[in-house]
Amino acid sequence: MAGSSYKGSNIESVDQFLDDAAGLGSEREQEIGQHIGYRYDVNLVPDYQRLTPFLKDYLEFMGWDDLNWLEDVHMGYEEGQPAIFDRNINGWVRIPDEFKLPDNQQDRDMVARELLIKFQMSPSHPLVQLNKAYRKF
Amino acid sequence: MANMSSQDKLSHDLGMHTEQLTGRTQETFFDLKDDGGFGYHDAFDVDFNKRAEIDASNMGAKEINARIRELMTEGHGTIVVKNPGAKHSLAVGILNRLNLIIEGSLGYFGCGLIDGPNIRISGRVGWSCAENMMAGTLVIEKNAGSTFGAAIRGGDLVCKGSVGSRTGIDMKGGTIIVGGDTGAFSGFMMQRGRMVVCGNAGKNLGDSMYDGTIYIGGEITDLGVDAVPSELTDLDKAWLTRKLTMYGLLPEKGVNHFQKIVAGKQLWNYDNLEPTEKKLIL
């Protein structure tokens, strides 16, 4: 759980996947000419000193003592753009270009968690429409 | 249709026509200023201080689940279920914040598909407890059956006693904590998340695991295919100490003796096959 590698390759800098969208790090990736899997370290341990005020309120609201399921949420990168994976829609949610990213992965992860909660609870979330269309009971 | 050749028309009549599809990839935008609150769009507005009780002794599983839902619609944020009688499939599909206290034991598939609640069970649970759990906390005071936390995706699942075989099979996230021992094939095909076992682990621990981390405080009978020991770092120790303290399971001697098991990554063969497949197609 050290937080220094992803899918068999090492993370060398926080902007690695922004600067190099192809990101063919490992020998295997270079061999097949495409990136393998996640664009972030899935095992990075959250730094609780960096919780945002929004996340603190969310944890208190839910009655949790720590980040709970959000421990598994990280800022990822899709085609050179920062993005968050939303398990409820099985897809990536991209961060707008104008959004200024923090300079370290821990803060980026906290931002990702906050944005994901806001997206999932938003009336614009695709599940809201699916719910209306398909809910049986 | 009018400009079609006779051959095209024949093909079209046989149903072998192509159709120009219109549309676009789904793009959804949302405003960060949308105030959706902290719950899902259709979540019940409950108050943790509003408490209710259910005597489940003469109720069926469906009836008990419906009653829990009804109490949530009335704003009850703390619900106590008495005399659950080890019935199956109780407290499933709760997608809400809620304090649920179950006084007794559950049968199989208890608390499956939950997303958010904090549940405490004073007794035991049967097979596949918390299957597909998404978020929240679930604490079981006694023992649990096989496939504990199968396919869990998030949240903390805690059993203070011992659990059966295939604990955390196919888990894709979240944390499973076992105070006692775990059976054979624990962490089988694990893809992500963390499993902590304070006692011993049975045969084939972490067999075919793809990713994720397993911590074992006791003895490991043997490791499964592609499960390998790894170094326990200071970050691991800090995380273990914090998490185990949260649930009153921190061993007196601390966490330094825990063994860490991860994927050896020798089974990541899918990507190796891909270029071969591409060459065959091209």
Instruction: Enumerate the residues of chain A whose CB falls inside 8 A of the CB of residue B153.
Output: 69, 72, 87
* Per-residue pLDDT tens digits for B183-201: 999 999 999 999 999 999 9
State the CATH number of the domain containing residue B150: 2.160.20.60
Top-confidence residue, B278 or A15:
A15
Beta-sheet pairing, B192-197 with B135-140: unpaired
Could you tell me the two tokens for A21?
């969208």
* Closest residue to A62, CB basis, from B97, B243, B268: B97
Instruction: Enumerate the residues of chain B whose CB falls inside 8 A of the CB of residue A99.
Output: none
pLDDT computed for residue A48 by the predictor: 92
Whether A121 and B41 lie within 8 Å, measured CB to CB: yes
Domain assignment present for residue B81? The answer is no
Cα A26 to Cα A39, A75, A81: the distances in Å are 13, 21, 20
Look at the block and give the residue holding tokens 């770092």: B233
Rounded to two decimals, the pTM is: 0.88
* Per-residue pLDDT tens digits for B157-171: 999 999 999 999 999
Top-confidence residue, A113 or B14:
A113
Three-state SS at A30: helix
The tally of CA atoms less than 13 A away on the side-chain side of residue A127 is 14
**Nearest-angstrom CA–CA distance, B60 and B216:** 39
Lowest mean pLDDT among A6-20, A86-100, B141-155: A6-20
Domain assignment present for residue B248? The answer is yes
Lowest mean pLDDT among A92-106, B101-115, B240-254: A92-106
Domain assignment present for residue B75? The answer is no
Provide the residue range defining the domain that includes A31.
5-134
**Nearest-angstrom CA–CA distance, B164 and B142:** 12
Domain assignment present for residue B151? The answer is yes
Contact B80, B106 (CB under 8 A): no
**Nearest-angstrom CA–CA distance, B35 and B131:** 31
Provide the residue range defining the domain that includes B197.
143-282
The beta-strand segments (E) located in B6-134 are 47-55, 76-82, 99-103, 115-121
Number of domains in chain B: 1
Contact B126, B106 (CB under 8 A): yes
* Closest residue to A63, CB basis, from B29, B97, B154: B97
Stretch B51-77: mean pLDDT: 98
Residue type, A67: L
**Nearest-angstrom CA–CA distance, B159 and B149:** 10
Number of domains in chain A: 1
